[in-house]
Amino acid sequence: MNDVTLRDAVRQRLVTWDDPGSGAHQRRSISGLDLLRGIVDGTVPPPPVACLIGMDFVAVEHGSVALRLAPGEYLYNPMGVVHGGMIATLLDSAMGCAVHSTLPAGRGYTTLEIKVNYLRAVTAASGDLTAEGRVVHAGRRTGVAEAVLKDARGATCATASTTCLLFDLDPSEPKS
């Protein structure tokens, strides 16, 4: 490729997000379900990672979450398909948020492990992807969830399972 071809092929994407530290105290004082419902209805800003990759919160119920992502070329790997890490991120988010939806105010979670099964390649031609996560077990110390990722035609592209560690949030934690 010559310089003109490289310059003509350049794409740009502007990403904006809300300060994740603003409202941190409030987020600790409401249930996970209320927080996630606030993201869906627009009264709570989405997490910065959602803005970065273009992930939208579609639906939230106690123990289940649906997320959507348009698989743009900015998510492609060198093989010309959506990077597996983006698919894992979408599935991890759906499962983690499903677990979060079961937690009372003052409780948090983090992923302990995740397993992803990639079943088909994903490109922009796949159309909107929907990840549906649901809780299998919500205990005092751990939560277990699973998720399915489908393309716009309803074909299953990947499945996943996770175990999350559940813990009390530290009310004195810095607010960023």
175 pLDDT exceeds 70?
A: no
Reported as a pLDDT band with limits 50, 70 and 90, residue 20 is: confident
Q: Which residue has the higher pLDDT, 12 or 136?
A: 136
What dihedral do alpha carbons 71, 162, 135, 25 form, nearest 10°? -80
Look over the chain and give the mean of its residue pLDDT values, rounded to a whole number. 92
CB within 8 A of 46, min separation 6: which ones? 17, 18, 39, 55, 56, 57
Q: What is the pLDDT of residue 8?
A: 67
22 pLDDT exceeds 90?
A: no
Strand-pairing partners, residue 137, are 144
CB within 8 A of 22, min separation 6: which ones? none
Per-residue pLDDT tens over the stretch 76-116 = 999 999 999 999 999 999 999 999 999 999 999 999 999 99
Q: Which amino acid is at 51?
A: C
| CA atoms of 172 and 153, how far apart (whole Å) | 47
Reported as a pLDDT band with limits 50, 70 and 90, residue 124 is: very high
Per-residue pLDDT tens over the stretch 111-121 = 999 999 999 99
State which H helix or E strand residue 59 sits in. strand 55-61
Sign, CA torsion 91/94/99/100:
positive
Query: Are the CB atoms for 68 and 55 separated by under 8 Å?
Result: yes
Return the closest-CA partner of residue 117 out of 87, 142, 95, 97.
Answer: 87
Q: What is the pLDDT of residue 1?
A: 47
